Chains A and B, each alone.
Chain A
């Protein structure tokens, strides 16, 4: 972990050459949600490949660039395209952009993902505000000698997703007539989807939805002291007793359909940051 500090400085220096504002928030756009970028008044985009120590993104539907601009009147940096553990990237590399966002001055991290719904009261296309998570990825981005400049050795996890932001997002959803739940996200490494038995297991241990991302970034956000709000779009229902094969095109189509809702919620949460 001791080389991270330098890597962060290198990346920040490069980004500041192109964009010198202080972002209020960092935004990570998950599978199928990349076009939220259209809502951003874009000032600068930088390909990941041009930022030192940033990996390139290989997952389908991921563009792989940092978008700097204004959303809901606030300066933000957004990651269009994220890295996943199943692509083979080490978690320290996947989460480096979060540390860079913090170093650029952001105080808030907005994360989004597409996930499988296991709570039978959810429906495809619904949004879940992440209230808590379970890390079953078998890895942790904080393993290694701790750099005390970046955060504590043993970060507390009693409120990784700020409760007041969960409440704010739910209030906006009610006002805008969007179906939104509050629930628990469990992260697995993937890349295969779960077996029926695994879905039963994950449901039994207390999770409402399952995905292959987000948790590493949130652990690092907590480590470096960012507030976090997380949104999951339920793109397919994973009910072990009525399981259908998942179809990637369908998942992306559902994500795209739900995206206006997500956009409304993200913009709403950010708009209330100002007041």
Chain B
């Protein structure tokens, strides 16, 4: 297991204990709800809801359409912990701050991380409203987790079995759910940029050329952390728009949130399929 600085570990422990004192069940699945997808939380039978500002050391959310609370309860009878509102690097959080909740949710007992995001598609075969299940990523965020200790494990090193970052069985489950419910689920590569500006036409072309299918400003730090903690990861991207760099039109945050809402029932179906296998 990777080690973190003692100061950081103390934050994890204090926040975890605070949450643990307020729940009776042990969450098995951690869910991070991204832009416009926060309503999945309404399907959860809440046991307790904790605003971020009440949890010690928890960062505060500033992004559009993000509420900022931790919901603990059951979904399909399985105990879950869900982050309604997440932390983006463009908001000024360090990587270490942004991924702190992942450490806390794992420490609470979660074995799975389900993470969602809204992304811009650069793969011309995708359509706005489609879902992409991430099977890989390219990290162009240029940010490092500064609280990692000296002995942090490199995936695949002797400290840690060489498991895939994105769990193959969970990817297949997502693809199957799409077929069953008659909606498009693609498999593909997410390119993470820090943002906060949307990409230039040349940046979209770059993302496509280097092998990306979609581009976004989140998810990769949380996935890397979860994997280092040996959680099984399912990462879903709601494709809000298709960037056509040769005829690019303006993207607005409101549009992105609107289209992300259309993807909501699909995302919910995939998460519910996962929970039913547990």
Contacts and interface: CB of A to CB of B under 8 A. Distances in A.
A35 B52 CA distance: 54
A164 B202 CA distance: 18
B251 A156 contact: yes
A208 to B, nearest CB: 10
Given A145-B92, A158-B249, A184-B202, A204 B209 contact: yes
A184 B195 CA distance: 19
Interface string B237-274: 00000000000111111000000000000000000000
Contacts of A135: 200, 203
A154 B248 contact: no
A24 interface: no
B200 A133 contact: yes
Contact of B89 (A143, A146, A156): A143
Contact of A158 (B63, B89, B248): B248
B140 to A, nearest CB: 8
A73 interface: no
Nearest to A161: B200
B77 interface: no
A42 interface: no
Contacts of B251: 154, 156, 158
A155 B217 CA distance: 13
A197 interface: no
30 contacts: A132-B201, A134-B206, A135-B200, A138-B142, A139-B142, A140-B90, A140-B195, A142-B90, A144-B92, A145-B62, A145-B91, A146-B196, A153-B196, A154-B64, A154-B197, A154-B198, A154-B251, A156-B198, A156-B250, A156-B251, A157-B199, A157-B203, A158-B201, A184-B202, A205-B205, A205-B210, A206-B202, A206-B205, A207-B202, A219-B197
B3 interface: no
A223 interface: yes
A186 B201 CA distance: 12
A186 to B, nearest CB: 8
Interface string A156-191: 111110000000000000000000000010100000
A222 B250 CA distance: 13
B136 interface: no
A158 B251 CA distance: 8
* Most chain B beta-carbon neighbours within 10 Å: one of A143, A145, A146: A143
A132 B200 contact: yes
A159 B250 CA distance: 9
Q: Which 7 A-B pairs have the closest CB atoms?
A: A138-B142, A144-B92, A205-B206, A158-B248, A132-B202, A157-B200, A155-B197
B230 interface: no
Contacts of B197: 140, 142, 154-157, 219, 222-223
Given A135-B203, A140-B194, A160-B200, A153 B64 contact: yes
Contacts of A140: 90, 194-197
A260 interface: no
Interface in A1-42: 1
